[in-house]
Amino acid sequence: MDSLQVAIIGVGHPKTGLPVLASLAGYFGERPLEIRLYDPDPEFLEMYDRIARLLFKTADNPHHVFASGDLTEVLRDVDRVILELSDRSVAFFSKKRKEAGLQPAIDEILRSVPPEAKVLSLQEEPLEYRMGVYRLPEWVRGLPEPEPGTVPHQVHRYILGDEPFFELLRSQERSLLKDWLDNPLSAEFLSKSPAA
């Protein structure tokens, strides 16, 4: 059976990064997942790759995971794309580009997404999208707001085994993200217009 190719763009987002990975760790759908992690910040990419592998191992989930700093590689032939760029990731992404900011980063990323792929935006800022995207605003609003700078330390504690992450996995057992993977129409659809 072919796997479902899922790209996470901006995996190091402080609010949504861990809940997305915890949701995927608890996903046991009809098709296995190939999860592709991308973050323009190499430190975040390495850290979230490690925590993803630990979460999937703990959940006894055989998802195939790979991380890459090459956006083209991550988006090649992808079925689902999850956008969750943080301010820090946008700053790294913008360094080599003419335009800086979240909107130009999203525009450039969406130009590389295959037209048949379904895109879920977890961005909370109002944005213009070059293609139709799905949103889960209630799910994102329901996630706790982390204290600035605390999430990387939390992730390191999880990786080092200083703190168990079973509660994180349990918190996303009924995640709406899992429903979206199986049925994108379960989420709000936004067609090439500003986010509300």
Specify burial of residue 31 (Cβ count, 10 A radius: 0-12, 13-18, 19+).
middle
**Taken in order 144, 66, 135, 171, is the CA torsion positive or negative?**
negative
Please state the length of the chain: 196
78-135: pLDDT as tens digits: 999 999 999 999 999 998 788 899 999 999 999 999 999 999 999 998 899 989 999 9
What is the pTM for the complete model shown? 0.94
Q: Measure the CA–CA gap between 3 and 33, rounded to whole angstroms.
A: 5
CATH topology assigned to domain 4-190: Rossmann fold (3.40.50)
Give the residue among 60, 66, 2 at the shortest CA–CA distance from 30. 2
**pLDDT score for 97:** 85
**pLDDT score for 90:** 95
21-39: pLDDT as tens digits: 999 999 998 889 999 999 9
